[in-house]
Amino acid sequence: MIEGDRADSLYITNSPNTSDVDEIVDQLDEVDLDTNYTATYWPWIQVRDGDNATQLYIPPTGEVVKNIALTDNVSYPWFAVAGYQRGLVNAIKAKKKLTLDNRDDLYNAIINPIATFSDTGTIIWGNKTLQVRESALDRINVRRLLLRARKLISAVAVRLLFEQNDEQVRNEFLRLVNPILESIKKERGLYEFRVVVSNDPEDIDANTLRGKIYVKPTRSLEFIDVEFLITPTGASFENI
């Protein structure tokens, strides 16, 4: 429904309540959820139930949605909902403290880890959708970028309906759409973009304005590779 009928939302699905990385990976393999409109997170998190004076484990979904709202508030939808700036989780602890290898195994299985670090506690440490094929859309921030762009462009394009389908209306479409994408580019959502409107007589005869929007979405930084090189005492850094 989210992908086929609405196509305007991102669905955060609960992960199973397990304690073993291999088990959660195997369970996800058994479910056919190959889509860039969905993402999942693991492990579950422990929170305090004040009404019953106890502690319990719940899916991290609520905290993920909270951080999505935070991201829209402090930056833009095309920024990753993860990391130290926009991924802090309000929990006592995660059900399992993940090692680096655990996080890598989960990420390779397109499951976003809820990591635990001594300086911050629990934190969202992934930005993947459940799309299996590698492309820009296997990242949440890119999917949310397109959701936002589509909503903004639809809102201005609808104003042109029932106007004369001529060169003037096509120029008006470009005049309305280009500033939206230029604004997204300015706010670090796109590297480049191009908007093309068809002049095909068949489209005109079908009372249709057909456009294509080409975008190069900005990718999120997820890996840092630093190499240390030992140089001789007499070496000059000017020549490096």
- Residue 31's pLDDT is 84
Neighbouring CB atoms inside 10 A of 117's CB total: 11
Q: Model-level pTM greater than 0.85?
A: yes
- Torsions phi, psi of 175, nearest 5? -65, -30
**Dihedral sign, Cα of residue 14, residue 39, residue 41, residue 82:** negative
Helix, strand, coil shares of the chain, percent, nearest 5, are 40, 20, 40
State how beta strands 121-124 and 112-117 pair. antiparallel
pLDDT of residue 7: 86
pLDDT per residue as tens, the chain (240 positions): 888 888 899 999 999 999 899 999 999 888 888 999 999 999 999 999 989 999 999 999 999 999 999 999 999 999 999 999 999 999 999 999 999 999 999 999 999 999 999 999 999 999 999 999 999 999 999 999 999 999 999 999 999 999 999 999 999 999 999 999 999 999 999 999 999 999 999 999 999 999 999 999 999 999 999 998 888 888 888 877
Residues 40 and 52: their CA atoms lie apart, in Å, by 28
According to DSSP, the β-strands at 93-94 and 45-49 are antiparallel
How do the domains of the chain map onto residue ranges? 2-136, 142-217
φ and ψ at 207, to 5 degrees? 55, 40
Q: Which residues pair with 106 in a beta bridge?
A: none
* pLDDT tens figures, 8-53: 999 999 999 998 999 999 998 888 889 999 999 999 999 999 899 9
According to the model, what pLDDT value does residue 236 have?
83
- The share of the chain scoring above pLDDT 90, in percent, equals 87
Give the span between the Cα atoms of 194 and 182, in whole angstroms.
Answer: 10
**Beta strand segments in the chain, E:** 11-13, 38-42, 45-49, 54-58, 93-94, 112-117, 121-124, 190-197, 211-217
